[in-house]
């Protein structure tokens, strides 16, 4: 292996730049050439491929987003698209890939490897933390801290106006962000897709016998909750408890931006470096993750189909602390 390509794909996440930096610097350290593929699979198909040197990744470790840009490519889902992508990689003599992204990005890389035998290593980059094969994904720590900062601010106004605030957070189909943020933000309830019975618990919360009377509350809802998001819950609560003063806030994409936390920079740096080493060791079609502080390799197959679930203990903890 002489030249590797690196790209970011799917939703961006704080720490992606730090990860690209680690890939580039580690590759150069081991005598490899590195190419940056712009806009993930879109750039592969449209030949947007640039040379990356040691200096190309200077002064980016602290920046949110991804300087390589990112996209979700429909064309790469077609075999013609993937063929074009392969031909472009060959033009640039790329003989190994590092893909930083989530499940959809892994799926693309896995198919690509099956079709063209291109060695590819996946690194978990998403704010959702929903990827199997790693304790934490790049961007998650920053995202929960960003959401928490907003919740602390909402708490101030909730307290002043004696209102109930429903805060909807991201996470796609998973409740990692919602549950952690609910615990860290002292919320009265967390509605997450992994615990659908919680709906009634949240509703009942407002007239639970013996419940201390508090004039304000924060409830965190995961966007992927099948019972609906913040606005649905607000409507239901208003019908049941017309006297409550309720407001909803959807945090949205603010959670994806910002300078990565120290934890995310360290995780991204470690994974970026280990990704290159894995390629050099001849590994392919795997993801690199960290579990209990150890580097772990997981096949794409397993990473794509495996389900990482929130801990039952944490669900219970959120409930206990909300009494």
Which residues sit at the interface with ligand F6P, rule CB under 6 A? 11, 102, 126-128, 170-172, 223, 256
Nearer to ligand F6P, 91 or 253 (CB): 253
Name the catalytic one among 51, 95, 128, 195.
128
The DSSP output letter for 64 is -
User: How many whole angstroms separate alpha carbon 225 and alpha carbon 259?
Assistant: 28
User: How many whole angstroms separate alpha carbon 47 and alpha carbon 57?
Assistant: 21
313 is annotated as an active-site residue: no
Nearer to ligand F6P, 235 or 253 (CB): 253
Nearer to ligand F6P, 95 or 257 (CB): 257
Residue bearing tokens 């409550």:
244
| Residue 191 parent element (H or E) | strand 189-191
279 and 119 in contact (C-beta within 8 Å)?
yes
Minimum gap (Å) between residue 172 Cβ and ligand F6P: 4
Minimum gap (Å) between residue 243 Cβ and ligand F6P: 34
Minimum gap (Å) between residue 92 Cβ and ligand F6P: 28
Alpha helices in the chain (DSSP H): 16-29, 41-45, 79-91, 103-116, 140-161, 176-184, 198-205, 230-240, 262-280, 300-305, 312-321
Nearer to ligand F6P, 26 or 142 (CB): 142
Minimum gap (Å) between residue 256 Cβ and ligand F6P: 5
What's the distance, CA 254 to chain centroid?
13
100 and 138 in contact (C-beta within 8 Å)?
yes
User: How many whole angstroms separate alpha carbon 245 and alpha carbon 165?
Assistant: 9
Minimum gap (Å) between residue 224 Cβ and ligand F6P: 7
The DSSP output letter for 77 is G
Nearer to ligand F6P, 11 or 133 (CB): 11
User: How many whole angstroms separate alpha carbon 159 and alpha carbon 141?
Assistant: 27
Residue bearing tokens 């990473």:
303
Q: Which residues are catalytic?
A: 128
């Amino acid at each position: 292996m002489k030249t590797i390509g690196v790209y970011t794909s799917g939703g961006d996440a704080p720490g992606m730049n730090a990860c690209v930096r680690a890939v580039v610097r580690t590759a150069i350290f081991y005598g490899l050439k590195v190419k940056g593929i712009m806009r993930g699979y879109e750039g592969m198909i449209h030949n947007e491929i640039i040379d990356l040197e040691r200096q190309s990744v200077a002064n980016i470790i602290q920046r949110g987003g991804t300087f390589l840009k990112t996209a979700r490519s429909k064309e790469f889902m077609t075999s013609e698209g993937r063929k074009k992508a392969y031909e472009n990689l060959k033009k640039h003599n790329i003989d190994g890939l590092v893909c930083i992204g989530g499940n959809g990005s892994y799926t693309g890389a896995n198919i690509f490897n099956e079709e063209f035998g291109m060695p590819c290593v996946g690194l978990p980059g998403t704010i959702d933390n929903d990827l199997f094969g790693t304790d934490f994904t790049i961007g998650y720590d920053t995202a929960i801290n960003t959401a928490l900062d907003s919740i602390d601010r909402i708490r101030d106004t909730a307290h002043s106006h004696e209102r109930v605030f429903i805060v909807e957070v991201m996470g796609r189909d998973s409740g990692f962000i919602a549950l952690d943020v609910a615990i860290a933000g002292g919320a009265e309830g967390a509605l997450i897709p992994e615990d659908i019975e919680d709906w009634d618990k949240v509703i009942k919360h407002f007239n639970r016998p013996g419940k201390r009377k508090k004039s304000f509350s924060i409830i965190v809802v995961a966007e992927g909750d099948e019972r609906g998001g913040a606005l649905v819950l607000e409507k239901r609560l208003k019908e049941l408890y017309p006297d409550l003063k309720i407001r909803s806030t959807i945090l949205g994409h603010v959670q994806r931006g910002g300078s990565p936390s120290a934890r995310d920079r360290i995780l991204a740096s470690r994974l970026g470096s280990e990704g290159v080493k894995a390629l050099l060791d001849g590994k392919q079609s795997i993801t690199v993750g960290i579990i209990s502080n150890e580097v772990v390799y997981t096949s794409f197959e397993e990473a794509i189909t495996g389900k990482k679930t929130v801990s039952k203990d944490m669900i219970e903890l959120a409930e206990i602390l909300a009494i």
